[in-house]
Amino acid sequence: MANIIAIALVAAPVAVSGLSAGFLYWLAKGKIFVTAPKEGTVEAVMRNNGFDHLIMLYDGHHLNTPGKPWFDEDQPKGEVLADDPEVNYDDRNFFMKWLNIYYVGLPPIFTVHSYFFRWVEMKGTEPCKRAETSRFTRVVSTSYVIEIKGAKSKEGIPLLLRVLVTLRIVNPYRAWFGTTDWLETITGAITSGGRNFTGSKSYADLTSESTLPDGTIDKTGADLLCTTILSLNTILTDGTAGIHERYGVELDMINIQEMDIDAPPEEKAKLLKDTLARYNADNVAYTTRVEGEAQADATLAKGTADAKVIVLDGMAKAGAIKAKGLARAEVLRAQLAEWNNGGQLNALVAQTKAMEAGKGDRTILWAQNPWVQAVPGLATVLNSLGVKTANELEAALETNKPEETTAPEPTEETA
């Protein structure tokens, strides 16, 4: 009998604790009185529909909460910060730690904030639209698909851009209560930055690749677009504070999944051809017409008294240049000067150096450059002259400027 009583005395508290724990978990599931957030998420507690405090469960991190012993005045309020191993950031009692639940407050005065959230995520290889009422947001790196609509290249070619954005919420209060919809706001900022970038680049620049001397790919148009979007962390396109400071969001990684002409397949080729032709006519003022593959147009070299004529025999002689009455080097220089008569090659230098962040010292495979391909024989001339980089091309153009002649000043005998 004594044994039965002893067992009952031990089992009763355990049973009561079990029932209490089960009841609290049931309450936590409904966010009533207590809550049990998922790892890597944060929840906002509201008091009479006004913000009261945040609850976060994120291993190795804490919230910079005013009034707490660990509050750092040099960091923004509510910022997600990495833990100091020497500091204890969990001030819950033993029972709450054991159950891994957090105190919310007495309902209906205290409630967990809920909001309607819409997003697009990757499901396999296809984007999938999602929408649900949520009572938390993730503070770990999370990926979302964002479409940049209304983008155009410098020539006016409409573009379809699909971007996979990996980001983190670094200040939940600003993300939730500093905007009406934080992801929609970030989408708008990325769209603006993407449009500005594509509008400053030609379609050839956006879809081209630059190579290092060893032949490996260095930067592509997509890489430069990714860098531009990541710069929105610190400064927006209007020159104001970036999305980290303003909206409490940090962009971690950008991946351009798709960059294509925004037109039906049967219209893409014609649209690209027509737009590029119009752009060249308006901005480059130079058009090379190639009749078949047997011959190239004869080009009159301006700026020389002898009116040098260069015949490009592209098919029979594989681009060899025949010079009449002039040495080969002089002919090549004259041809280069003629091609730059409308400033086309100066534009090529600017575009190439822009893709190299203004350096212009990388070896360029001229035969693979779309702008060089548009001028038959140009790649051959550049290679023959030993021009390998944008800086060398710029120097060659400066050297081969036509000399300006001035009339001699009158003397006493001629006056």
Sign of CA dihedral 233, 238, 241, 244: negative
pLDDT of residue 315: 40
Q: Kindly state the percentage of the chain with pLDDT values over 90.
A: 44
Across residues 187-211, what is the average pLDDT?
88
CB 381, CB 392: distance < 8 Å: no
32-46 core/surface letters (b: 16 or more CB in 10 A; e: else): bebbbbeebbbbbbb
For residue 384, name the pLDDT band (cuts at 50, 70, 90): confident
Higher per-residue pLDDT: 288 or 19: 19
Contact 222, 256 (CB under 8 A): yes
Strands 209-211 and 137-138: what pairing?
Answer: unpaired
* Between 64 and 296, the higher pLDDT residue: 64
Averaged pLDDT for residues 259-286: 71
The fold of 115-266 is: Tetrahydropterin Synthase; Chain A (3.30.479)
Dihedral angle over CA of 47, 51, 52, 55, nearest 10: 110
- 290-311 mean pLDDT: 41
206 pLDDT more than 80:
yes
Residue 214: other Cβ atoms inside 10 A:
7
Q: Where are the domains of the chain?
A: 20-112, 115-266, 288-399
Cis omega (within 30 of 0) for bond into 408: no
Q: Are 280 and 370 in contact (CB under 8 A)?
A: no
Per-residue confidence (pLDDT) for residue 386, from 0 to 100: 79
Bigger pLDDT: 275 or 172? 172
Lowest mean pLDDT among 38-47, 118-127, 153-162, 301-310: 301-310
Distances (CA, A) of 168 to 41, 71, 206, 224: 11, 21, 28, 22
Cβ neighbors of 171 (< 8 A, separation 6 or more) are 76, 78, 79, 80, 248
pLDDT value at 395 more than 90: no
d(CA 176, CA 113): 10
Of 19-23, 315-319, 394-398, least confident by mean pLDDT is: 315-319
149-153, 249-253, 330-334, range with greatest mean pLDDT:
249-253
pLDDT band at residue 365 under the 50/70/90 scheme: confident
Could you give the C-alpha distances from 48 to 108, 111, 181, in angstroms and in order? 8, 8, 21
Report the predicted TM-score, pTM, of the whole model to 2 decimal places: 0.62
